Structure 1
């Protein structure tokens, strides 16, 4: 079957567990994937976060596009093939006694002018708090006019209300490739698909994988999600 004309883009979504595991393995995993965009959850967000974010990006062979402390650990990294034209961050309202959460967004251009927006978030582990955060994240996504690529650690599976909120009107890359049985958490005992990547219907999902190898099991407590896409060609 022939594919519609488009611009290829490889995206990785990865909860890196605060770089508390094997960081050499982590860097090797990402470099081997050769992504154009990496959407990071649990990236640097505290003291010297800019320096730490740059060091993480360099270890991957990428550069920082957006995120870090302003988005509370959500970090968007890109290859030099991707030009970033605008960025913004969001912090979700603080629930006393809970971790701060947020989201990062970057408007990008690649491959002779194909434009898209990439977004990343990490929702609460608290089932009462997640729906409100999902609604704010979704509101931001709905305001995007460019084809959007949104990835998140949703901390719940596809049967959850927060997942349904974020997924509405978007294509779940795992479902599109008939690979929704690929579990993303935890590396020690894979039992749940809580890490998702959604795309605008204008974007074609070419391939999807959850990378489960001895190396990824050392690199983090989450498996990386690897997706190949075709963006709408520039007008």
Structure 2
């Protein structure tokens, strides 16, 4: 038995541009799971993220603290286990980064926001993949690099690029996500494990999308095993 699951990834630019437009975009996406990169931070960051989640019909399961530039939001009725904010090592002068993991209705989900330095991306991605087992797993986020580069190659060795799978089925190329006003680069991703079926993928457009952030979101429709069926479990 399997069931549908809608997953999206969205770089919210700290909600600094047009928060009302960002809310409109996410409501239209209607995701079951939303991986957020660049959530609001600072003294009021957690409060603003919770308020945003409520406004779009979701709840925050991981955000703030060690999650740093990532957060994980899910629909209110979802069953969440092992939600964790995981810190990543930082070198002087670099942005402090982390990532989120959780098991959402039996699906292992990770949210990642890799940095601008290629060496750092490689080191961080190795740590990110450790708690993401093959099987019923989904990794979303902002890789800060384009297809064919090392992070994509590493991920492609253990997971599948959902947008590429959908593009192969439809005959249309995967859509770029950055920048929002005239996207040319595909840096926001959804990767899935072998037990996950990809049904469709799209990158929304329109005035609200262009106002809300400097990225466009990526939304992917999946089919996943029912909770309790065999799936990869998250490690410590």
Common topology (TM > 0.5): yes
Contact 1:92 1:133 in 2 (8 A): yes
Correspondent of 2:131 among 136, 140, 165: 140
1:107 aligns with 2:103: yes
Structure 2 residue aligned with 1:171: 160
* Mapping for residues 1-235 of structure 1, pairs under 5 Å: 5-109=1-105, 115-141=106-132, 144=133, 147-178=136-167, 180-233=173-226, 234-235=228-229
For residues 9 and 122 of structure 1, the distance between their equivalents in structure 2, rounded to whole angstroms, comes to 22
For residues 180 and 23 of structure 1, the distance between their equivalents in structure 2, rounded to whole angstroms, comes to 30
Q: TM-score, normalised by structure 1?
A: 0.90
Aligned residues: 224
**Aligned-pair CA distance for 1:146:** 6.0
Residue aligned with 1:104, SS: strand
For residues 145 and 204 of structure 1, the distance between their equivalents in structure 2, rounded to whole angstroms, comes to 14
**Aligned-pair CA distance for 1:180:** 4.5
Residue aligned with 1:13, SS: strand
Q: TM-score, normalised by structure 2?
A: 0.90
**Aligned-pair CA distance for 1:77:** 0.5
Kindly provide the CA deviation profile for residues 139-197 of structure 1, in whole angstroms up to 9, marking residues without a partner as x: 222xx376111102000011111222223221111111115430010113311101110
Q: Alpha carbon RMSD of aligned pairs, Å?
A: 1.5
Contact 2:203 2:219 in 1 (8 A): yes
For residues 145 and 65 of structure 1, the distance between their equivalents in structure 2, rounded to whole angstroms, comes to 22
Runs ≥4 residues deviating over 3 A? none
